[in-house]
Structure 1
Amino acid sequence: MASKRAQGKEIKRNKVIDAAEHLFFSKGFAQTTMDDLCAQAHLSKRTLYVYFNSKDQLYFEIMIRGYKQLITMLEENQQSLPVIDRLKQMAYTVYQFSVLYPDYFTAIFSYENRAADFEKGVPDASKEECYRLGEQVFQKLTDLIEEGQNSGIFRRKPDAVQTAVILWSCLHGILNTAKVKKNYLASFHSIPSDSLIRQAFEVIIRSICIDSGGDC
């Protein structure tokens, strides 16, 4: 009986997240109200607040879904390749994620961290899980850079963490440019987005190599 009750709660909880995902992606986070969520999920506001206390908490849940999908793709694409090729593969997998799951990509990459996210206070399991998964992705990148530094392929300065932040930021920038400037790049410069992204990956990775020639 307890198991069925727990299962019922999980179904309702996912129903609310599904409703939030639909509305945030179609209407926008700022434009969506808790009343909208109640109507979409066919639940009373009292029932809704049993599961989630705010839109922010629901946004974290949507990012959790996105991070899980990205992590699955990264792990599926893991191969026994030289570290440079694995770094390129990781970058290209993030690109594939942005194409296959554009709404999740936008949700993750457009989220603006707030000071309140890091304040000690009432525990928020959704927020903690979201940041844990985000760090899991970031750690994969940091580990690759650290491996390359230890093997004498990548520069040691800045350190692996700072280099990872820089590469992640560059990756975000080029993927965003390829998306929003797609028609302009094709019409004025005859540059397909896919080609631009692959060349950008080469330039970005070469910039951290000790020897910028050869395979790097």
Structure 2
Amino acid sequence: MGIAERKEREKEQRRQQIIDAAEIVFFKHGFETASMDMVAEQAELSKATLYMYFKSKEELYFHIFKRGEGLLMQMIEREVQKSHTFQEKLLGSLKALVRFQKKHKHYFDVIEFFHSMHRQKTSVKKLMDSHLKEEQERIKLWSDLFEKGKADGVVRPDLNPLRAMVVIWLQFTGFLQRYQLLADSLKQDFGLSQEELLEEAYDLILNGILKK
């Protein structure tokens, strides 16, 4: 390995160490309260060194967002690859999202918060624009699933794959977000567990998609 390659590898290792430190800070304090000073202290670096690698806390948060999205897509892709029917692939994808939210709650919250930010801040929008290709690949994974379901005669022929995918994703992520806030009252006042509500949601989704 040459000197240039070694330096580049060391630089990338330092970048990942900074992101690791930023995760600790952001997960503990949230985006609004966290600061570059906190990240520098956690990473045991000077603030000047930190800014050599990342220009802003938005950029750092973006890289945590990308980590979370990458992990989520790995979980979904594994479900799609090991399943056979359209129903198995779709439900497997949704159940992977549920597992992700339970096992990696901080990443789930970062993803949802970052998506809510990117229309409000120009700096964040630029970061998301650079991420467009990856977003399109994720959308294509689901669109292809619906197209295959239509070709196999399983999915309603009038269904628009892109619109259906977006609606289901918004419904499901919205459900998971709201349930976090209402879990105790739903259980105490109505005796409804998340598992029961999820089974109902899966049934409603499939009934709205599958060809009769």
TM range (shorter): 0.7 to 0.9
Quote the residue 2:41 is aligned against. Answer: 39
CA deviations 1:48-94 (Å, max 9, x no partner) are 11111111111110011111211221233232421122111111111
Quote the residue 1:189 is aligned against. Answer: 190
Aligned sequence identity (%): 29
Shift of 1:156: 4.0
Which stretch shifts more, 163-172 or 9-18? 9-18
> Which has the larger helix fraction?
2
Shift of 1:3: 2.8
The correspondence of residues 54-203 of structure 1 with structure 2, limited to 5 A, is 54-77=56-79, 78-111=81-114, 112=116, 113-114=118-119, 116=122, 128-129=130-131, 131-203=132-204
Return 5+ residue gaps in structure 1 as ranges: 212-216
Alpha-carbon distance in 2 for matches of 1:41, 1:7: 18
Quote the residue 1:2 is aligned against. Answer: 4
Shift of 1:202: 1.6
Q: Decide whether the 8 Å contact of 2:159 with 2:209 is kept in 1.
A: no
CA deviations 1:163-201 (Å, max 9, x no partner) are 111011111122223322221222122222122112212
Q: Aligned to 2:164, what secondary structure does the other structure show? A: helix
Please tell me the root mean square deviation across aligned C-alpha atoms, in Å.
2.1
> Could you tell me the TM-score, scaled by structure 1's length?
0.85
Return 5+ residue gaps in structure 2 as ranges: none
Structure number with greater CO (CA < 8 Å, separation at least 6) is 1
> Could you tell me the TM-score, scaled by structure 2's length?
0.87
